[in-house]
């Protein structure tokens, strides 16, 4: 109750002009005091009763009119509660935003930028070709280390045909990296960096990523993509899981992907797709680039490829051998592309068009018409890929090939063949 809402009645003053006689004054004053006391008591009782009645009537009327103070108070509480909920939501939103910032801050030390210097054949206007050094950018995720190496997972296409790899950590320190193993059909590769090449400050600044579970992803969950977009260094985009179990048509690629509307830009390849806990749920790999398409990027589900990553990171690390020591299979080959494979019912790989006399392949029994599909248990999709594998092996070393041998009725049978490499 508010002082401004009610007027108080104050009893007690006598406004007569005649002065009373002295003898009777005491009696009159006693009577007056008695009456005054009674009047005050009655006034108090009346005030309390009137106040209660007024409050009751006020409540009844207010309820009837829908303007009940209690209701209003409750409404205010609800409004405050709603306000709090909104503030909480805003706070959540802000916490969420702050949460994204926290997630990114925690994961940045796990992400690296990768620069690939490769030599490619370039055809000029007149049709002649020449070699040209090309630089490309990608990303990687620090996943483990062994006694001598820091291990980083990325996409195969990020390291493909490399002549040198530069790995740049979150503190902008760069070191040389080498490819430890690749799987082209899953677009995966593992890079090794020698621990001795990393200074102590950088070692304390970096950390290994936590791999999450991509099997239970739900459409609409938050997704955070982090990587070396456009080669400018680490950047972050956010969105949601748009779809799971997406199959896309891409030559030589065999993997079911996660779709997200978090922007996946050139250079993001090999970087991390994260959940709201900062766990890696995918490896960013491709995006749909078309004037009629927006917000369709894809990542390799981490749970689908953990075994492959472990296999690649536990392979022996090999460095490229000098040209004068390099080993050769002794074949001429042609790519069996996905289109050719479908058209002619052939396995994808390298079709042997000739086994050179005196070469290691001929000595191992490989003949024209065979198709090479694996090199030391790693899938082979092209002659270029096969040649890049051989750059790490010297003449005299033995490698294991999986070859598809033509059988009856146009079928092929897989067999394993050991080949001792020879000089060119």
CATH, domain range 323-420 = 2.30.42.10
pLDDT band at 117; cut points 50, 70, 90:
confident
List, in sequence order, the alpha helices (H) in 180-301.
200-205
What does the pLDDT average to over 124-133?
A: 68
* pLDDT value of residue 408: 84
Q: What pLDDT score was predicted for residue 135?
A: 86
- Does the annotation mark 254 as catalytic? no
Q: What average pLDDT does range 27-52 have in this prediction?
A: 42
Q: How much is the average pLDDT of 2-11?
A: 36
- pLDDT tens-digit series, residues 277-292: 999 999 999 887 766 7
Phi and psi, residue 240, nearest 5°: -135, 170
Task: Name which residue leads in pLDDT, 354 or 85.
Answer: 354
Statement: residue 26 has pLDDT above 90: no
Q: b/e per residue, 342-378, with b = 16+ CB within 10 A?
A: eeeebebbbbbeebeeebbbbebebeeebbbbbbbeb
Q: For a pLDDT cut of 70, what percent of the chain falls above it?
A: 72
Q: Are 326 and 424 in contact (CB under 8 A)?
A: yes
82-86, 233-237, 262-266, range with the lowest pLDDT? 82-86
Catalytic residue among 214, 269, 379, 388: 269
Q: Are strands 297-301 and 256-260 parallel, antiparallel or unpaired?
A: antiparallel
% of the chain exceeding 90 in pLDDT:
54
The rounded distance, in Å, linking the Cα atoms of 365 and 359 is 10
> Fold match between 222-307 and 323-420?
no
Beta strands in 48-148 (DSSP E): 111-123, 129-145
- Residue 262: CB atoms within 10 A of its CB come to 23
Instruction: Give the C-alpha separation, 328 to 137, whole Å.
Output: 30
Buried b (16+ CB within 10 A) or exposed e, 281-300: bbbbbbbeeeeeeeebbbbb
Give the pLDDT band of residue 238 (cuts 50, 70, 90): very high
268, pLDDT greater than 60: yes
> Is pLDDT above 80 for 236?
yes
More confident residue, 396 or 384: 396
Would you call 157 a catalytic residue per the annotation? yes
Residue 24 has pLDDT above 90, yes or no: no
Out of 170, 184, 185, 187, the active site residue is 187
Domains of the chain by residue range? 23-61, 108-205, 222-307, 323-420
DSSP E strands: which ranges in 261-389? 272-274, 280-287, 297-301, 331-336, 349-355, 371-375, 378-379
Which of 113, 136, 137, 157 is the catalytic position? 157
Residue 34 confidence class, pLDDT cut points 50, 70, 90: very low
Per-residue pLDDT reduced to its tens digit, 325-341 = 999 999 999 999 878 88
- CA 305 to centroid of chain Cα atoms: 16
pLDDT of residue 54: 41
- Mean pLDDT of the chain, nearest integer: 79
Banded pLDDT at 131 (limits 50, 70, 90): low
Confidence check: pLDDT of 60 > 50: no
| The pLDDT value given to residue 119 | 67
Q: Which fold has domain 108-205?
A: Thrombin, subunit H (2.40.10)
Angle at 387 between CA 381 and CA 388, to 5 degrees: 90
For 222-307, the fitting CATH number among 3.40.50.2000, 2.40.10.10, 3.20.20.60, 3.30.70.20 is 2.40.10.10
pLDDT of 161 reads: 77
Is 199 a residue of the active site? no
pTM higher than the cut 0.85: no
DSSP tag of 209: P
pLDDT greater than 50 at residue 6: no
394 has a pLDDT exceeding 50: yes
What angle, 0 to 180 degrees and rounded to 10, lies between the N-to-C axes of helices 69-107 and 22-65?
60
Encoded tokens for 115: 């620069």
The average pLDDT across 103-127 equals 83
Dmax of the chain from CA atoms? 154
């Amino acid at each position: 109750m508010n002082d401004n809402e009610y007027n108080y009645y104050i009893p007690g003053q006598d406004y007569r002009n005649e002065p009373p006689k002295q003898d009777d004054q005491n009696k009159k004053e006693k009577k007056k005091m008695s009456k005054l006391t009674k009047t005050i008591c009655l006034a108090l009782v009346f005030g309390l009763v009137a106040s209660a009645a007024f409050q009751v009537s006020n409540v009844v009327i207010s309820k009837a009119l829908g303007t009940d103070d209690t209701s209003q108070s409750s409404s205010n509480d609800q409004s405050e509660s709603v306000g709090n909920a909104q503030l909480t939501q805003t706070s959540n939103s802000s916490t969420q935003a702050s949460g994204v910032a926290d997630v990114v801050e925690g994961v940045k030390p796990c992400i690296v930028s990768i620069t690939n210097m490769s030599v490619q054949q370039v055809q000029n206007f007149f049709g002649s070709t020449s070699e040209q050094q090309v630089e490309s950018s990608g990303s990687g995720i620090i996943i483990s280390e062994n006694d001598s190496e820091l291990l980083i997972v990325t996409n195969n296409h990020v390291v493909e045909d490399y002549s040198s790899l530069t790995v740049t950590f979150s503190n902008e320190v760069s070191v040389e990296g080498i490819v430890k193993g690749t799987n082209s059909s899953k677009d995966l590769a593992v890079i090794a960096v020698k621990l001795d090449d990393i200074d102590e400050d950088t070692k304390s600044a970096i950390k290994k990523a936590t791999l999450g579970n991509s099997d239970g992803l739900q459409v609409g969950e938050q997704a955070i993509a982090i990587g070396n977009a456009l080669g400018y260094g680490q950047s972050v985009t956010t969105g949601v899981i748009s779809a799971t179990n997406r199959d896309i048509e891409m030559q030589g690629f065999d993997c079911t992907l996660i779709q997200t509307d978090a922007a996946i830009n050139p250079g993001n390849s090999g970087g991390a797709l994260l959940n709201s806990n900062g766990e890696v749920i995918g490896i960013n790999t491709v995006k749909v680039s078309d004037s009629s398409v927006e917000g369709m990027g894809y990542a390799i589900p981490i749970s689908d490829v953990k075994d492959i990553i472990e296999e690649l990171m536990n392979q022996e690390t090999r460095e490229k051998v000098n040209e004068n020591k390099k080993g050769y299979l002794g074949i001429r080959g042609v790519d069996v592309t996905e289109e050719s494979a479908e058209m002619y019912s052939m396995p994808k790989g390298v079709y042997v068009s000739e086994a050179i006399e005196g070469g290691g392949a001929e000595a191992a029994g490989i003949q024209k018409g065979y198709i090479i599909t694996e090199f030391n248990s790693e899938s082979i999709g092209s002659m270029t890929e096969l040649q890049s594998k051989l750059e790490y092996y010297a003449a005299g070393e033995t490698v294991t090939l999986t070859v598809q041998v033509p059988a009856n009725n146009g079928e092929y049978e897989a067999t394993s063949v050991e080949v001792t490499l020879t000089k060119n």
